[in-house]
């Protein structure tokens, strides 16, 4: 039996019959709307496809909004959703340089600043040197002469009351090794090694230098340590008012035989 079914004629542009529309391949989505699907449907139905929508014009960028701190705030929108604010720090100002400034590191302004600084420092140094010349150092040394009180104020032995102020020990002895008499002599408190100040040790009856250990008898004679010679004596006489007068400007050295000088020892 012959099949009297006529073969279907397929109109150009018409969808094939007997096919599952769901089986048709997915259509591409075009940004801006459903135009391809609509066009395909229109093509399938033979209707005139609707005109495509023109793309939306881009929105102008939002103007920056400066705040009190100088920062700017830009308001941006995304897809019509809630606005989002972004804050940015003020942009750094680009460094400007003179066109004829060929220095690779410093600008002309920096060089001028350096030059002025050097000039100011040199001026200050010159001024300080002038002031130093106008006002020289004054060495405040204790006087070379001083009155040390009446002889009756002294007991036998070493008196240290003038050590700190005048650098002198006044010793009263019943029998001096040179004068062979009782009386006074003034010993300078300067070690003959390198100039330190010895200490008087009452229990040991000696002067002991703390620097290198030199030792001196109460007479001033050195007997231990590196000191090469005895302590020096200063001039001691009676002043007009009967006080002891000590004069450090006149010194007497034992090794030179100067302790025999009448002003190196005051008999009393
Ligand atoms: S300075 Fe006194 S022992 Fe050296």
Structural domain boundaries in the chain:
145-267
pLDDT reported for residue 237: 97
Written out in words, the top-level CATH class of the domain with range 145-267 is mainly beta
The closest residue, in CA terms, to atom 3 on ligand 1 is: 212
Ligand 1 midpoint to CA 141 (Å):
22
pTM of full prediction above 0.75: no
Percent of the chain with pLDDT over 90: 51
Q: State which ligand 1 atom lies nearest to the alpha carbon of 214.
A: 3
The two structure tokens encoding residue 205: 């009856």
Q: State which ligand 1 atom lies nearest to the alpha carbon of 209.
A: 2
What is the signed CA dihedral for 114, 119, 120, 122, rounded to 10 degrees? 130
What Cα–Cα distance (Å) separates residue 235 from each residue in 28, 184, 189, 207, 231?
A: 126, 10, 14, 20, 13
- CA–CA distance, 156 with 173 (Å, rounded to integer): 6
- Given a contact cutoff of 8 angstroms between Cβ atoms, the answer to whether 156 and 174 are in contact is yes
- Give me the residue label for tokens 């340590």: 225
Residues written for the chain: 268
Which residues partner with 88 through β-bridges?
72
R_g of the chain computed on alpha carbons: 57
Higher pLDDT, 236 or 130: 236
pLDDT digits (tens, 9 = 90+) for 237-266: 999 999 999 999 999 999 999 999 999 999
Confidence tier at 131 by pLDDT (50, 70, 90): confident
Q: State which ligand 1 atom lies nearest to the alpha carbon of 195.
A: 1
Confidence tier at 160 by pLDDT (50, 70, 90): very high
Q: Which residues line ligand 1 (CB under 6 A)?
A: 191, 193-196, 209, 211-214, 225-227
pLDDT digits (tens, 9 = 90+) for 15-73: 444 444 444 444 444 444 444 444 444 455 555 555 556 666 666 666 666 555 555 55
Q: What is the mean pLDDT of residues 188-203?
A: 97
* Angle 248-250-253 from CA coordinates, rounded to 5°: 105
């Amino acid at each position: 039996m012959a099949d009297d079914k006529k073969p279907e004629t397929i109109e150009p542009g018409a969808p094939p019959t007997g096919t599952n529309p769901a089986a048709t391949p997915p259509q591409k989505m075009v940004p801006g709307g459903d135009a391809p699907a609509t066009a395909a449907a229109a093509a399938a139905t033979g209707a005139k496809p609707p005109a495509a929508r023109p793309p939306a014009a881009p929105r102008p960028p939002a103007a920056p909004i400066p705040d009190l701190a100088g920062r700017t705030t830009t308001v941006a929108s995304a897809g019509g959703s809630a606005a989002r604010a972004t804050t940015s720090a003020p942009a750094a100002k680009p460094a400007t340089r003179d066109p004829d400034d060929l220095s690779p590191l410093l600008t002309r302004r920096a060089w001028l600043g350096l030059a002025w600084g050097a000039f100011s420092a040199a001026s200050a140094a010159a001024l300080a040197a002038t002031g130093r010349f106008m006002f020289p150092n004054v060495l405040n040394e204790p006087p070379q002469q001083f009155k040390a009180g009446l002889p009756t104020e002294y007991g036998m032995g070493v008196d240290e009351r003038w050590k700190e102020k005048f650098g002198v020990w006044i010793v009263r002895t019943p029998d001096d090794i040179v004068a062979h008499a009782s009386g006074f002599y003034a010993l300078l408190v300067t070690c003959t090694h390198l100039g330190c100040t010895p200490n008087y040790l009452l229990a040991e009856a000696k002067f002991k230098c703390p620097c290198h250990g030199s030792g001196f008898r109460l007479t001033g004679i050195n007997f231990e340590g590196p000191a090469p010679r005895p302590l020096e004596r200063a001039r001691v006489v009676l002043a007009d008012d009967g006080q002891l007068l000590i004069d450090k400007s006149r010194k007497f050295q034992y090794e030179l035989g100067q302790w025999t000088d009448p002003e190196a020892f005051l008999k009393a």
